[in-house]
Amino acid sequence: MLRALCFVMLLGLASTPRAHGVDMLVFLNPGLFDQAPDGRITGPGGDMIYRIAAVSGVEVRIQVLPPARVMQTLVQQVGACVAGVPRLPDNESRLRWLGTLSSSSLMLYGRLDEKRRVNGVEDLRRASIVVQRSSLPASWLRERGLPMQEVRDTVTALRMLQARRVDYWLVNELVAQRTFRALGGELPARPLHSLGQIVTHLACHRDTAPADLERLRTAVEQLRRDGELVDFGVRP
């Protein structure tokens, strides 16, 4: 009788998926992902991650990394996830895609006194452009053979533009707006031309536990339906 009972219990355990938890990789970006003195990730991006964790019930361990290491770690480390990954051909098959988190413009900014007009790529051939290192804007410029200067964060990029060290700043408009708010809310740069859309997703290493992936996917969908992603450009 005892042996039979143990067998039934083992069957029950085997049939119930258990969450293993994920490592949510984050790089700091002023106004979007900030870090409090106690180490806690704050800002709208941090709040979104905590909501995904709460709604999904998956244990989410936040790991702060330099931007250049985030994508490398994401494709190499089982259980790694990133909130805000663009779906590109070179990473499509290497990751699990769990839902859209943001939709914004790929925006070219100039100084407030900028008089030149930009209508497309050809107008940028001889321009100096600053971008955040290892970002989609950087990839966009590289694919088109356009010169760029890469820096570690959006504040540095903005300061270079204001100091006239570059002509333009190419950035995810959503990220730029969050940076402006973090710096006091005034518009310190002028949006000149949208060069396309940037849609980002929650993505995880392809071999992450299926039970965790499904819970995370369901959570992102629930946040979208409930209107919690509207501030990130995603409509219910």
pLDDT tens, 61-101? 999 999 889 999 999 999 999 999 999 888 899 999 999 99
Supply the mean pLDDT for the chain: 91
Backbone angles phi, psi at 102, to 5 degrees: -155, 155
Residues 6+ apart with CB under 8 A from 55: 219, 222, 223
> Residue 18: which of 209, 203, 202 has the closest Cα?
209
pLDDT at residue 68, rounded to an integer: 82
For residue 40, pLDDT over 90 is answered with yes
Is the CB of residue 132 less than 8 Å from the CB of residue 171? yes
Q: Domain limits of the chain? A: 20-103+199-232, 104-197
Same topology between domain 20-103+199-232 and domain 104-197: yes
Residues 90-122 pLDDT 10s = 889 999 999 999 999 999 999 999 999 999 999
| Domain 20-103+199-232 fold | D-Maltodextrin-Binding Protein; domain 2 (3.40.190)
b/e per residue 186-207 (b: at least 16 CB within 10 A): eebbeebbebeebebbbbbbee
For residue 35, pLDDT over 90 is answered with yes
For residue 14, pLDDT over 60 is answered with no
pLDDT at residue 89, rounded to an integer: 83
pLDDT at residue 96, rounded to an integer: 98
For residue 16, pLDDT over 60 is answered with no
| Domain 104-197 fold | D-Maltodextrin-Binding Protein; domain 2 (3.40.190)
CA-based torsion, 82, 100, 145, 187: positive or negative: negative
CA-based torsion, 212, 216, 154, 144: positive or negative: positive
3-class DSSP assignment, residue 87: coil
pLDDT at residue 90, rounded to an integer: 83
Is the CB of residue 231 less than 8 Å from the CB of residue 102? no
Is the CB of residue 169 less than 8 Å from the CB of residue 63? no
Is the CB of residue 24 less than 8 Å from the CB of residue 81? yes
> Residue 159: which of 132, 193, 127, 191 has the closest Cα?
132
pLDDT at residue 65, rounded to an integer: 95
For residue 230, pLDDT over 90 is answered with yes
Residues 170-203 pLDDT 10s = 999 999 999 999 888 778 999 999 999 999 999 9
Number of residues in the chain: 236
How buried is 97 (Cβ within 10 angstroms: 0-12 exposed, 13-18 middle, 19+ buried)? Answer: middle
Q: In the structure, what pLDDT confidence band is assigned to residue 11 with cuts at 50, 70 and 90?
A: very low
**Could you tell me the CA-to-CA distances from 162 to 145, 169, 172, 227 in Å, in that order?**
25, 10, 18, 36
